[in-house]
Amino acid sequence: MPISGQIKSSINSEINTDNYDPCSDLFDNNLKSAEYGVLILNSPTKLTNDNLWNIWNHGKIRVLVDGGSESWVFSRKDKELALPHLVTGDFDSISPETLQAFKQNEEIKVVNTPDQNYTDFTKALKELNNYKMKNEIRLENIYVMTEMIEGRIDQVMANINTLFMAQKLFPGMRIFRLSSDSISWLLTPGTYSISIPEILRVNQDWCSLVPVGAPAVLTTSGLKWNLNNHKCFFGEMVSTSNTYDGSPKVKIQTDSPILWSMCTIGLKCRVE
């Protein structure tokens, strides 16, 4: 739930601010000119959204992660989909037929990652990075696609934990979680400016700021329910089901990691 009452807050404009504008990168700019990697994770719900498949098709490095391969196989029946560069995982969620078909395709590298100390998501990021370094491919962002509304809560939390681990494994790499109707990413301690497309502001679509792992003291502007040096943590208050006040940017200052999530319904990819 949002906090009660609309609070006026300000963030010192002199503080160095990290800018985020993934909605423009994905939905306003031409995907063909973008430089990003994309992974598809296992999910109980197969991906069917055309936006997600457009993003997949134009990724510089495309990775199917274990059971996520079945979404690709399912959608390829009626869509033109680019081949993956990599198929990774411990392969406990992929059908033998699908796995064998990938192994027989010389254009696809199949990498078994049996280490149970890491999730398939974490191991896939490592393999993507290895492929990137070996082939000298420049990437600006990594988009991780999965539908988790019907998924297991432990897997959801494991995916969020991987976002934390990625900060140490791949410093400087921006990793976003995408679904058919939302985008999420981790904000580490600092000050941020997030561009909000006009349609999301007009429609008063949802957004949320959730502290993960530790309490976070937050100050924001650009939200309908702003926070002013407010301590958020589980057991007390977190800012979910928030929305925008009409400003083109949301500004956030946090002293601890938070998960920022926002609705993307109504946005369409542009491919020329």
Query: Is 35's pLDDT higher than 80?
Result: yes
Residue % of the chain over a pLDDT of 70: 92
Residue 104 in tokens = 């027989």
Cα–Cα distance measured from residue 106 to residue 97, given in angstroms and rounded to the nearest whole number: 16
pLDDT in tens, 97-147: 999 999 999 999 999 998 778 888 899 999 999 999 999 999 999 999 988
In which band, very low, low, confident or very high, does the pLDDT at 213 lie, cut at 50, 70 and 90? Answer: confident
- The pLDDT of residue 30 is 83
CA dihedral angle for residue 193, residue 198, residue 201, residue 204, rounded to 10 degrees: -140
Cα–Cα distance measured from residue 30 to residue 58, given in angstroms and rounded to the nearest whole number: 10
Query: Is 11's pLDDT higher than 60?
Result: no
Cα–Cα distance measured from residue 225 to residue 241, given in angstroms and rounded to the nearest whole number: 10
- The pLDDT of residue 10 is 54
Ramachandran sector of residue 66 (left: φ over 0; alpha: ψ -120 to 50; beta: rest): left
Instruction: State pTM to two decimals.
Output: 0.90
- The pLDDT of residue 224 is 97
* Mean pLDDT score, 213-227: 96
Evaluate whether 206 touches 241 at the Cβ level (below 8 Å).
yes
In which band, very low, low, confident or very high, does the pLDDT at 233 lie, cut at 50, 70 and 90? Answer: very high
- The pLDDT of residue 44 is 76
Average pLDDT, the chain: 89
Evaluate whether 235 touches 253 at the Cβ level (below 8 Å).
no
- The pLDDT of residue 151 is 59
- The pLDDT of residue 14 is 47
Residue with tokens 């495309």: 62
- SS3 of the chain: CCCCCCCCCCCCCCCCCEEECHHHHHHHCEHHHCCEEEEECCCCCCCCCHHHHHHHHCCCEEEEEHHHHHHHHHHCCCCCCCCCCEEEECCCCCCHHHHHHHHCCCCCEEEECCCCCCCHHHHHHHHHHHHHHHHCCCCCEEEEECCCCCCCHHHHHHHHHHHHHHHHHCCCCEEEEECCCEEEEEECCEEEEEECCHHHHHCCCCEEEEECCCCEEEEEECECCCCCCEEECCCCCCEEEECECCCCEEEEEECCCEEEEEECCCCCCECC
- The pLDDT of residue 128 is 95
- The pLDDT of residue 6 is 42
Q: Which of 256, 194, 261 is nearest to 231 (CA)?
A: 256
pLDDT in tens, 50-64: 999 999 999 999 999
- The pLDDT of residue 2 is 47
Amino acid at 224: K
Query: Is 181's pLDDT higher than 80?
Result: yes
- The pLDDT of residue 251 is 97
Least confident of 59-68, 161-170, 186-195: 161-170
Query: Is 150's pLDDT higher than 70?
Result: no
Cα–Cα distance measured from residue 217 to residue 229, given in angstroms and rounded to the nearest whole number: 6
Evaluate whether 178 touches 142 at the Cβ level (below 8 Å).
no
- The pLDDT of residue 192 is 97
Residue 228 in tokens = 């002013």
